[in-house]
Amino acid sequence: MPCEILVGLNVTDDELYQKYRDEMTPILKEYGGGFRYDFLIEKVLKTDSESKINRVFAIYFESEEAKNEFFLNDKYIQIKEKYFTPSVSATTTIAKYNR
């Protein structure tokens, strides 16, 4: 069953974060995944998180198993460490659901 995660980030380096997206997207597609929505957030009116959020996106996978395999992929982990980790100061999982 397809699954989706709604995620909020505090991106601190837009250029480096874009490199992360560019590098990881082909791997994501290999696992039947992609992005359904992607927003830059100027102002947050209400949040349950203590972390700042300036970007929100919905990422999807063809199945829960595909999602788990994607996040364990060695190449993805290397890309995440190189680009995501230094460009994002906080990650908030807003929701997980099946589609």
Taking the model in full, what pTM does it have? 0.93
Q: Are the C-beta atoms of 20 and 87 separated by less than 8 Å?
A: yes
Domain boundary assignment for the chain: 3-98
Segment 17-35, tens digit of pLDDT: 999 999 999 999 999 999 9
DSSP label at residue 67: H
Q: Which amino acid is at 11?
A: V
Segment 35-77, tens digit of pLDDT: 999 999 999 999 999 999 999 999 999 999 999 999 999 999 9
Q: How far is CA 24 from the centre of its chain?
A: 10
Instruction: Determine the CATH number of domain 3-98.
Output: 3.30.70.100
